[in-house]
Amino acid sequence: METIYLSPENLAFLQKEAQPNIMALGFFDGLHKGHQEVINQAKRLGIEKNLPVSVMSFFPHPKTVLSNGKKQVNYLMPLSDKEKVLRTLGVDIFYIVEFDREFSTLSPEEFVAKYLVHLGVVHVVAGFDYAYGLKGEGNMDRIKADSGGFLDVTKVSKVECRGEKISSTCIREKLLKGNVDELPDFLGRQYEVLCEYDGYTLKLKPYYTLPAPGKYAVTLIGTLKTQEIEVIVTEQKEIIILKPLYILNLHQKGLITIKWHQRIGKETEYPLYESDWFITI
């Protein structure tokens, strides 16, 4: 898979180089089951038409830009994780558009022309509620018209779990309530965060969100080993490990993935003592 960062500086060059493709549109934070359905439908069309499949996402989140930084988004995954998942889904090209004030002022027609038609897109796939262009005035019912009839469009219906729409927003809400055991049904996998161990402490990498304060059953995954363990997330967004960490030597540096399974109690139910082993994030 090829990853391409799109900006006003390189857009014209990439337009000249673009080949016909099927494009899936969305922000795709978390790449949950709803996102996967959008991409899978694009993949089926790509096979039928013998065309490569591209995915277009945006960074940073539009809410952050449009609020002048006043609204911060609890990201579910960084771009590097998106790349990994999209590669497993069989995507050929991953476009990352720099979302800034200038981009946010594009009319729906300008967005469709510059970022779809002129990038070789012949068929667009997105969720039923996808919006684009200035103030989100564009929607899935007008993309074909905005392209002058050039683009074919597939609007993907709502994907639900137990009667609830699967969305990045609902996943964030469950995460911030500590309901990590519900997330596999929405994400298609357990929620994970990546931390960096410096030989003494763990530091959460950017663009992940910790679950609500409480005690959790997790799996820690190191370079060569894994360990089932219980941790506490504090009100200060620290992670406290109450048992020795066997997957790394005491002063070994490296990356550790935390895979969240289940919340098993509130933070206040588990007072800490000086004898407790702990590593904080």
Residue 102 inside a domain? The answer is yes
Residues 251-267: what's their mean pLDDT? Answer: 82
Residue 103 inside a domain? The answer is yes
Q: What is the 3-state secondary structure of 81-101?
A: HHHHHHHHCCCCEEEEEECCH
Range of the domain at 194: 189-269
**Pairing mode of beta strands 254-265, 138-139:** unpaired
Residue 275 inside a domain? The answer is no
Residue type, 127: G
pTM, two decimals, is 0.88
What confidence tens digit (pLDDT) does each residue in 43-66 have? 999 999 999 999 999 999 888 887
What confidence tens digit (pLDDT) does each residue in 95-150 have? 999 988 889 999 999 999 999 999 999 999 999 999 999 989 999 999 999 999 99
Report whether 28 contacts 82 (CB < 8 A): yes
Give yes or no: residues 39 and 151 share one domain.
Answer: yes
Residue 180 inside a domain? The answer is no
Separation between Cα atoms, residue 210 and residue 172, nearest integer Å? 10
Residue 25 inside a domain? The answer is yes
CATH number at residue 51: 3.40.50.620
Residue 173 inside a domain? The answer is no
Q: Is the pLDDT of residue 279 over 50?
A: no
